[in-house]
């Protein structure tokens, strides 16, 4: 039967941290996929970016032609940086803070369990030379069970956090999308773009949408 050796506590903590690191990497990958899906839903028009540019070119050509025959016309364009709204708007920051606050008690419980695991493992290593096989087995099993409990709790909070973040982001994205739909009527623009290679700052209305979002 394997005996607890030196470094057992550090090994257990390192294994838990390693698992948490892998889950964190998986969660980040999941977030990137979710973010891409949300942005794709929000910005369906980006799939037709070439067509939009072509249409704008035709519109401007028509405008020039109209001016030539004495009927002035103008295509008004507005730009909204959706990613900035999802990440840096007051609503987005408040939502992120609320999520962190909601998950804090669970994180603190896990941190307390990790401290308990560290203490139990260290005590077992210290007492091991003076324990009979039965007592050593009982205490080793207790340490192992606590380690598994912590691992399950870490996995669950990781999944729950990712799900909550994705749901809140999707709700915020829908709200932004609804506000963008109102811009043509409110600002008198003909086209609203959510991504450009370059644009004049004067046509960027992201701050206006952010103000609407925070009402």
Domain map of the chain by residue range?
A: 8-213
Residue with more model confidence, 12 or 214: 214
Name which CATH class applies to 8-213.
alpha beta
Q: For 102-129, what is each residue's pLDDT tens digit?
A: 999 999 999 999 999 999 999 999 999 9
* CB within 8 Å of 111: residues ≥ 6 apart: none
* Per-residue confidence (pLDDT) for residue 32, from 0 to 100: 58
Indicate if the pLDDT at residue 15 is higher than 60: yes
What pLDDT, on the 0 to 100 scale, is given for residue 58? 46
- Dist. CA 137–CA 56, nearest whole Å: 76
pTM: 0.69
Backbone dihedral region of 7: left (phi > 0), alpha (psi from -120 to 50 degrees) or beta?
left
Query: pLDDT tens digits for 33-86?
Result: 555 555 555 555 444 444 455 445 544 544 444 444 444 468 999 999 999 999
């Amino acid at each position: 039967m394997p005996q607890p050796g030196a470094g057992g506590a550090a090994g257990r903590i390192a294994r838990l941290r390693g698992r948490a690191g892998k889950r964190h990497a998986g969660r980040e990958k999941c977030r990137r996929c979710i973010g891409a899906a949300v942005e794709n839903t929000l910005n369906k028009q980006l799939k037709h970016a070439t067509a939009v540019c072509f249409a704008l070119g035709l519109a401007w050509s028509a405008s020039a032609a109209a001016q030539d025959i004495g009927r002035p016309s103008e295509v008004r364009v507005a730009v909204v940086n959706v990613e900035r709204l999802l990440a840096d708007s007051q609503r987005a920051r408040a939502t992120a803070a609320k999520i962190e606050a909601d998950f804090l008690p669970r994180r603190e419980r896990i941190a307390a369990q990790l401290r308990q695991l560290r203490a139990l493992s260290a005590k077992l290593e210290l007492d091991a030379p003076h324990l009979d096989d039965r007592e050593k087995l009982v205490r080793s099993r207790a340490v192992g069970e606590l380690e598994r409990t912590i691992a399950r709790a870490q996995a669950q909070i990781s999944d729950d956090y990712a799900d909550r973040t994705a749901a809140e982001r999707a709700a915020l994205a829908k709200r932004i999308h609804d506000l963008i739909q109102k811009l043509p009527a409110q600002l008198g623009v003909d086209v609203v773009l959510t991504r450009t290679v370059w644009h004049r700052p004067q046509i960027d209305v992201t701050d206006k949408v952010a103000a609407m979002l925070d009402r």
